[in-house]
Amino acid sequence: MNDMPTPASIGLSREDLPNSYIGRSVPRPNVPKLVQGRATYTDDVAVPRLVHAAFLRSPHAHARIVAIDTAAAAKVPGVVRVFTGADLAKVCDPWVATLEHLKGMKSAPQYPLPLERATWQGEPVVAVVADSRAAAEDGVAALAVEWEPLAAQLDMETALDPGAVVIHPALGDNLVFTRTAEKGDVAAAFASAHKVVEATFVTGRHTGVTLEARSILADYNRAEGTLTVHHSTQAPHMMQGVFAKQLRMEEGAVRVICKDVGGSFGIKVHVYPDEVAVAAMARIMGRPVKFVADRFESFVSDIHARDHRIKGRIAVDAEGKILGFDIDDRTGIGPYSVYPRTSAIEGNQVVNLCGGPYDFANYRCTTTVVFQNKTPTCQYRAVGHPIATAVTEGLVDLAAEALGMDPIEIRRRNLIRDDAYPYTSPPGMRFEGLSHHAALAKLLEMVPVERIRADQAEQRRRGVHRGLGFASFIELTNPSPFMYGIGGARISAQDGATVRMDPDGSVVVLSGVTEQGQGTDGILRQIVAHGVGVPVERVKVITGDTQTTPYGGGTWACRGAGIGGEAALQSAIALKQQILQVAGTMLQAAPGSLDIVMGEVVERETGRARMPLGELGRIVYFRGDTLPKDLARELVQTRHFITKEYPFAFTNGIQASWVEVDVETGIVKLLEHWCVEDCGRVINPLLVDEQVRGGIVQGLGGALYEHCVYDEQGNLLTTTMADYLVPMSAEMPEMHVGHVETPTNESLLGAKGAGEAGTAGAPAALMNAINDALRPLGARVTEQPFTPARILAALGRI
């Protein structure tokens, strides 16, 4: 009974099917609610005395606020109150988004509403609170703000030049952070190389576009001294801490609830000034205040990401062995580093991840992170990965081309061997166990390369240009405190789960990880059903409430399954053991001779049913008098989990993209896409496949369509869904997903993250496919998004 459970002893291997819920495509419990419109998003929460906020946003990229006249706005029918930055600063402290382990990083204090200057077009400047959102917007229209426009620093390339506009004079310059990782002897490797090739890559600034916009309803109860916040967020416990700290309250006096959240993609794990302003206004007014961003506001105020220019070189020997990478990355992050994760992580990830799939000795990579007067950037799905993968895989393909080598062959020669683990990469990333060669082999089983190459040759004769591209990748998941905690951020890398059995034998799990549509609830239910031994329908999952769930970090960086899932499994197993102790006493059997199968206590050896859990529950809860006095009878267990051996559980995979480029119009048609990834133990194959597909779509979106375009004055031009092009189903290719499973030994469950793999590799695979198509025409594109204009320009047609 007290033996440590192992993956084999609890039936986590595929061979245990069908008696296991692990590895089965069990339907998600929340889908009917979501598709029937019965979800409770923040905007659906009804409370008495509610007022609505709308914001006047800066029309300038950089301007001094000379005067704000609120008199007319205050008289608009329905308007309750108008708040300026100075009003909110009385109750709300500013924040500075730096992390101590990012040496030398600096940023400026950010207020919910700025006191003196607006530093990006779209920054919230004045808030109007009214009886309805429409009335609040009427109030905003009646505000009179006198601006003194200032010169704006828009171009990241000139942000550190002598003539640059220093956005925060107190900081001295626009440098946020720089880091160089260096290993081996890069100069010597490049000097002695058979071939050196180089290219400059650009990844386009884009954003997350969640179906449900950012939403918050904050309610300060003066009688209790408590702040209750309904919030569309990925990290309720983190936000609890943020609201408490900024509003000078005890953490325990703040409760953050997120019922249903309609998509996040990393967009909803940050501190937004307009959202903190709403909490501050609720604190001042002593009544609930709601703000739901409209799509205009989302485009100018949701975090942007991926605004990078990367110069890269690769050195190879005559056999195609990679000798080294030499990379220089620059990124502009807007006027503030975003709290509390900071906006230096994306560049830092580029340094950590370039060259990631490959075994090579010499590495130099520098990131330079600068301020600019555009919307702040921060972590968005697959932070830094698509950038690092595009640079790495773009350079590997260029090297193959220079050597006249097949792109598959150069990868086969350089991917880290599957028996080389544990392995430490040149920038210091430690890999517990990856499967690059197994993934490549699996991919080649799925991709009909010979048929495709024959078709490609045939089509070229007819003037049709098709291309096949590959991209290997690694993905960082299950982060430990090495990601944020060691830098001083109150972001939990640990997560907890409480699992209890109620009198009728049903089970409830309360988890610190959260659900935003990706299926966290679904896998938690499967894990707990498996761990306790009950039908999956008998498990209820509760997430997203700081007052009822165990403390945790929430769902981001691919940690829901790996961290939250393991905590749930451990607590489920503990509950099962507790139940069997009680059952053993009732049935006068050794607990170790019993098991729980589908809600029934059974004899382990024979499977003979002994007692339904409902009967056990009845006796424990209503006839406890019949049990021995000293019997421990708490049918509830809580476990927390944190990774300890490795800072991150890396995963890996490889993608392939097959495209047709219309060389007359520059339009890229996506024909087919493949991805093989290794997220360790697969809990729900359908969910993992859908995560991978969705991730691929988001990666393809950034590579083909999505782009936050600014004019020369720093005005965002792409502020509607007609101008900011998201990937749509009509243009998406047929996608094939395969898996290799290398479970992590850090946990019993063995799960790593799966949510970002698709996004990490898709842009690089697509870029290589387009360039494969264009190669006979002597054209190449390296600047995302790969628009018709850029492809036609590369072809010399315009």
Partner 1 sequence: MKWPAFAYERASTLQDVWRLRAEHGEGARLVAGGQTLLATLAFRLSEPSVLVDITRIEALRGVTVQGSTLRIGALTRHAELGRDPLVARHAPLLAEAVPYIAHPAIRNRGTIGGSLAYADPAAELPACVVALDATLVLASPAGERRVAAREFFTGLLETALKPDELIAAVEVPAATPASRSAIVEVARRSGDYAMAGLAASLSLGADGRVSAPRLVYFGVGNGPVLAAGASAALEGKALDAGAIAAAQAALARDIDPPSDLHGPPEMKRHLARVLTARALSRFLPAAEAAS
Contact footprint for partner 1 (CB under 8 A): 132-134, 137-138, 141, 294, 296, 664-667, 705, 709, 717-718, 722-723, 725, 728, 730-731, 787-789, 792, 797-798
Shortest gap between Cβ of 39 and partner 1 (angstroms)? 22
- Using DSSP bridges, classify how beta strands 600-603 and 594-597 pair: parallel, antiparallel or unpaired: antiparallel
What DSSP letter does each residue of 119-175 carry, written as one string? Answer: -STT-EEEEEEESSHHHHHHHHHT-EEEEEE------GGGTTSTT---SSGGGSSSE
Neighbour-count burial of 223, counting CB atoms closer than 10 A to its CB (0-12 exposed, 13-18 middle, 19+ buried)? exposed
Shortest gap between Cβ of 463 and partner 1 (angstroms)? 13
Shortest gap between Cβ of 665 and partner 1 (angstroms)? 5
- Are 82 and 126 spatial neighbours (Cβ–Cβ below 8 Å)? yes
**Smaller CB separation from partner 1, 499 or 792:** 792
What DSSP letter does each residue of 63-109 carry, written as one string? Answer: EEEEEEE-HHHHTSTTEEEEE-HHHHHTT---B----TTSTT-----
φ/ψ (deg, to 5) at 526: -65, -45
**Smaller CB separation from partner 1, 480 or 787:** 787
**Residue of 650, 649, 654 whose CA lies nearest to 438:** 654
- DSSP 3-state assignment of 340? coil
**Smaller CB separation from partner 1, 645 or 664:** 664
- Are 493 and 563 spatial neighbours (Cβ–Cβ below 8 Å)? yes
Shortest gap between Cβ of 426 and partner 1 (angstroms)? 39
Residue type, 168: H
Query: Is it true that the peptide bond before 18 is cis, omega within 30 degrees of 0?
Result: yes
Cα–Cα dist 293/719, whole Å: 13
CB count within 10 Å of CB 712 equals 9
Shortest gap between Cβ of 102 and partner 1 (angstroms)? 35
**Smaller CB separation from partner 1, 183 or 707:** 707
**Smaller CB separation from partner 1, 184 or 788:** 788
Residue carrying structure tokens 């890999």 = 431
Shortest gap between Cβ of 82 and partner 1 (angstroms)? 18
- Are 765 and 467 spatial neighbours (Cβ–Cβ below 8 Å)? no
Shortest gap between Cβ of 716 and partner 1 (angstroms)? 11
CB within 8 Å of 646: residues ≥ 6 apart: 430, 432, 480, 744, 746
Residue carrying structure tokens 């291997």 = 13
**Smaller CB separation from partner 1, 264 or 718:** 718
Shortest gap between Cβ of 330 and partner 1 (angstroms)? 24
**Smaller CB separation from partner 1, 585 or 713:** 713
Shortest gap between Cβ of 295 and partner 1 (angstroms)? 9
Query: Crossing angle of helices 757-774/385-403, nearest 10°?
Result: 30
Helices (H), ranges, 623-677: none
- Are 562 and 641 spatial neighbours (Cβ–Cβ below 8 Å)? no
**Smaller CB separation from partner 1, 631 or 717:** 717
Shortest gap between Cβ of 775 and partner 1 (angstroms)? 22
Shortest gap between Cβ of 728 and partner 1 (angstroms)? 5
Residues paired with 65 in a beta bridge: 147
- Are 362 and 323 spatial neighbours (Cβ–Cβ below 8 Å)? yes
Helices (H), ranges, 533-658: 565-587, 613-622
Shortest gap between Cβ of 206 and partner 1 (angstroms)? 14
**Smaller CB separation from partner 1, 30 or 718:** 718
φ/ψ (deg, to 5) at 93: -85, 150
What does the DSSP 8-state code read for residue 343? Answer: S
What DSSP letter does each residue of 234-270 carry, written as one string? Answer: S-HHHHHHHHHHHTT--GGGEEEE-------TTGGGS
Shortest gap between Cβ of 704 and partner 1 (angstroms)? 8
**Smaller CB separation from partner 1, 215 or 718:** 718
- Rounded to 5°, the CA angle 722-726-727 comes to 130
Cα of 569 vs its chain's centroid, Å? 23
The 609-612 sheet, strands edge to edge? 594-597, 600-603, 609-612
Cα–Cα dist 277/301, whole Å: 14
What does the DSSP 8-state code read for residue 564? Answer: I
**Smaller CB separation from partner 1, 263 or 788:** 788
Neighbour-count burial of 407, counting CB atoms closer than 10 A to its CB (0-12 exposed, 13-18 middle, 19+ buried)? buried
Neighbour-count burial of 72, counting CB atoms closer than 10 A to its CB (0-12 exposed, 13-18 middle, 19+ buried)? middle
**Smaller CB separation from partner 1, 80 or 594:** 80
Identify the sign of the CA torsion 510, 516, 518, 519.
positive
- Are 271 and 216 spatial neighbours (Cβ–Cβ below 8 Å)? no
Residue type, 577: Q
Query: Crossing angle of helices 565-587/520-532, nearest 10°?
Result: 30
Shortest gap between Cβ of 651 and partner 1 (angstroms)? 31
Cα–Cα dist 207/212, whole Å: 14
Residue type, 166: V
**Smaller CB separation from partner 1, 76 or 682:** 76
Residue type, 44: D
**Smaller CB separation from partner 1, 116 or 711:** 711
Shortest gap between Cβ of 671 and partner 1 (angstroms)? 16
**Smaller CB separation from partner 1, 345 or 670:** 670
**Smaller CB separation from partner 1, 616 or 774:** 774
Tokens of 365: 């990579």
**Smaller CB separation from partner 1, 660 or 689:** 660
